[in-house]
Structures are given as structure tokens and as C-alpha cells.
Amino acid sequence: MEVEGQKAMSNVLCLLTDPEGNPLGSALYLPQNTGPVQLLEVVNKLLSNEEKLPYSFYISDQELLVQLGTYLEKNKVSVEKVLQIVYQPQAIFRIRPVNRCSATIAGHTEAVLSVAFSPDGQQLASGSGDTTVRLWDLSTQTPLYTCTGHNNWVLAIAWSPDGKHLVSGSKTGEIMTWDPQTGKPSGNPFKGHKKWITGVSWEPVHLRSPCRRFVSSSKDGDARIWDVSLRKCVICLSGHTLAVTCVKWGGDGMIYTGSQDCTIKVWETTQGKLVRELKGHGHWVNSLALSTEYVLRTGAFDHARKCYSTPEEMKMAALERYNKMKGNAPERLVSGSDDFTMFLWEPAISKHPKARLTGHQQLVNHVYFSPDGHWIASASFDKSVKLWNGTTGVFVAAFRGHVGPVYQISWSADSRLLLSGSKDSTLKVWDIRTRKLKQDLPGHADEVFAVDWSPDGEKVASGGKDRVLKLWMN
């Protein structure tokens, strides 16, 4: 009996679970001197991984970096209860933080409103108030093509996940598609929207390859699905009573639209039928993000830079990446609003939110899931960036340092660093593990409207009111 008592004292009863809370076997006693290294052995063994995979471990959203005994003592946790330890797969590669401006490229004659790297991270596009889209040569860090054809501000740009097309939408509601290899339009403009374009999102390449369809959202209250091969609108998604502010094409084939009418609508994409309506916000919905966004954006491209000989091969590789990232859990959606709050949804399962995320003191301008889906970051006009648990929606940390509204955020490919761009003319890089500022990047002469971290993790691009495009590297 005494031996049993000693055993209970020196060992901790732990339950290992995945981020969704599914247990990995039953609870087991672990010695107090167990740390991340030993847990790694245990998890790889229990999962029967042939080759060892890297994991990080979390206890109530705090990464475990010490031995269990030290953790329990420091956080005054009772050993009477079962300790839940969440294991989270880690990116095998590591991204180094960007710390210097490697190029300031002039060219645009008005504010840069959007920047986006291609899915493989090898090309960069920007849209501007000067009515042009520009493509930049990243090896020489100079302008490559100026794409002309719009007659008003270019508000939104989006690369197809196979890298073959670039789409841009303007303030007049006109949409153009470009060939990134030549910088030339791939045909006449798409016309149909009556007011300006607020967002563009492509059909994932694991659902159809080569990429053909994309969806656009507009201030006119509609979203439209276009086909680049047929050169026309194939489905009009109408039902919102006010402007559609954002749109995402999900990995399961559903389209999500957020609107000033406070609702989010879920549409199927064969006939454009409304499947579900997500209600809860008390004001405009500004931003939507998907837990699978990184793999949807990058399709078949990963850090190994493999080339694919056929569209079918690319589709299979993209599907494998998507399924691996998603696991057994449903795709999650987060919405940010003018009502200062966010909601976390699992639209495939329920029309009711999984969690309400409160804490911002001003409108939430941008929300973004980390590439591994473990975190949600939110940018607000209250000058802060906040970090939340991507599965439960529980608040984790606030990053303070900006002295103006934060407009846009972007993640490093390994989910370890977060970038923010602000009205205060700076970019900041935040370290997710230490929850501290990693790098302050001043250099812009005015407000920073757009930031993007390349999917290969090597570069950051930013643009804003000062009309220049800046490239940042380490």
C-alpha cells in the first residue's frame, strides 16, 4: 500500500490528447522528471510513427518547456487531477525571423493596397491605387511587369493555388485575370459586379486541377463564381442584404461569405445554393479565415519545392497535404467584426458558434489562422494583436507595441512567428513561444496597408501609403 502511495507521489497521471481533445490511449503515469524530450518518445511510440516526427506539448495553452515536476510546482497544479497534455505536430523546417529591409522598390505612383506571394513563394504581386497590378522579380528585387487594364484602384489580388493565374479586382467592380509569366491579361475583363470588389478566393487545387474557378465578393451585396476557361460568371450567390466584405472558398468545396448585414452565409458550389447561415455578430463582419488556409493557398507546393508534371499529380499531392493538415477534425472558420468580437465556427457541423472571442476594445480588422491551425491571430484598431487557441477559441496572449491601428497580419510557414503591419508605419514580428516582440521593422514613411509572408518562409513583403514596396529578409 505504501509503495502505491509513493508511486502516486512521484509520478503524474497524464492524458495525452491531440489539439481536438481526442485522447491518445488511456491516461498513464509519467515520472515528474519527464520533459518534452521524453514526451516526444512516448507520442511517437503510441502513434507508431515509423520515422520520428517533431511535436510540441501544451498544458492549458502554455508550451511545456520544462520537466513536469517543475511545471506543477511553478504553476501550483494539483497532482490529484489528471493532467491533460496536448501534443501538436510541428513544422519540420524552421523559419528564421526577418530582420532587415533588403529592398525598397519604387514603381507604384499611388498607395500599395495589397501584396501577395505566389503559392510557391517565388513570385510577388501587388495592387495599387494607381490602377495597376505589378509583378516583381524576387531574385533581382526589381519590377518585372506592370499590368495595366484597370481604370480604378486595385483593391484585391489573389493567386490561383497552382500558380498559373493571378486575379485582381478594382473599385469599379471589374475583375481581370493575368498570366504571371508574361504580365499580360488573359482575356477581357470580367464584368458583372456593380460596386467595388472586396475579396477574391480560388477553388482549392485538390478539388479541381488545373485551377479554373474563383469567387469574388463585392460591395454590391453579391458574390460571383467565375470560370477563367469559359471567361464568364457561372454562378451568382445573392442573398445578403448589404455589402459582402469577405469571401473564402473552403477545402470541402463550400464558399463562405461575410457581410455588413452581420451574417456569414455558407454556399455549395455546384448550383450556388445557400446551405447555412451563421448568425451571432452584432455589427459588420470584416474578415474570415479558415483553419486550412495555408494548405489551400499553397496547394501542392511545400518547402521541398517538388515540381509536378501533370495537373492530376498536383491535385493528388495537394489532396494529401490537405487531408494531413485537416486530420479527422472539421474545417474551422473564424470571423472578425466591427462589434469588437470574433466567433469560431465549425460550419460543417453546426450553425451555432463553437466559441465567442472577446477582449478587443475596437473593431477587429483582420483574422488569420496559423498554418498548422493551432492558433488564431487577430488584428484590431485598438492597436493590439491578440492570440487565441485555434481549436477552442480560448484567449492566449495580447501583443502590444503598435501605436496605431493594426491593419493586417501574416504568419511564418512554421507557425512560430507572426507579422503585423500598422497605421503607425511599422511592421512587427512576434514570437509565439515567448509571446514577445521579436523584431521591430521601421522603414515605411507612412501607413502600412498590406503585408505578406512568403509561403516558403524566406521573405516578407509590405506596402502602404508611401507607394513603395519593401522586401524584408533575415
pLDDT of residue 239: 96
CA distance 402 to 385: 9
For 416: left if phi > 0, alpha if psi spans -120 to 50, otherwise beta; the answer is alpha
**Model-wide pTM > 0.75:** yes
Give the 3-state secondary structure percentages of the chain, helix then strand then coil, rounded to 5: 10, 40, 45
CA distance 261 to 238: 13
Identify the sign of the CA torsion 148, 152, 158, 162.
Answer: negative
DSSP letter for each residue of 183-212: TEESSSPB---SS-EEEEEEPPTTTSSS--
Residue that is written with C-alpha cell 487594364 in the block: 149
First to last CA, the chain: 59
Residue that is written with C-alpha cell 517538388 in the block: 306
CA distance 440 to 429: 6
Cis bond before residue 442 (omega within 30° of 0)? no
> What are the pLDDT tens digits along the chain (474 aa)?
344 444 445 789 999 999 888 999 999 999 999 999 999 999 999 999 988 889 999 998 889 999 999 999 998 888 788 999 999 988 878 888 899 999 999 989 999 999 999 999 999 999 999 999 999 989 888 889 999 999 999 999 999 999 999 999 999 999 999 999 999 999 999 999 999 999 999 999 999 999 999 999 999 999 999 999 999 999 999 999 999 999 999 999 999 999 999 999 999 999 999 999 999 999 999 999 999 999 999 999 987 778 888 999 999 999 999 999 988 899 999 999 999 999 999 999 999 999 999 999 999 999 999 999 999 999 999 999 999 999 999 999 999 999 999 999 999 999 999 999 999 999 999 999 999 999 999 999 999 999 999 998 899 999 999 999 999 987
pLDDT of residue 9: 57
pLDDT of residue 113: 96
Burial bucket for residue 289 (CB in 10 Å: 0-12, 13-18, 19+): buried
What order do you get walking across the sheet with 460-464 strand by strand? 100-105, 469-473, 460-464, 448-453
Cα angle 374, 301, 115 (rounded to 5 degrees) comes to 75
pLDDT of residue 2: 40
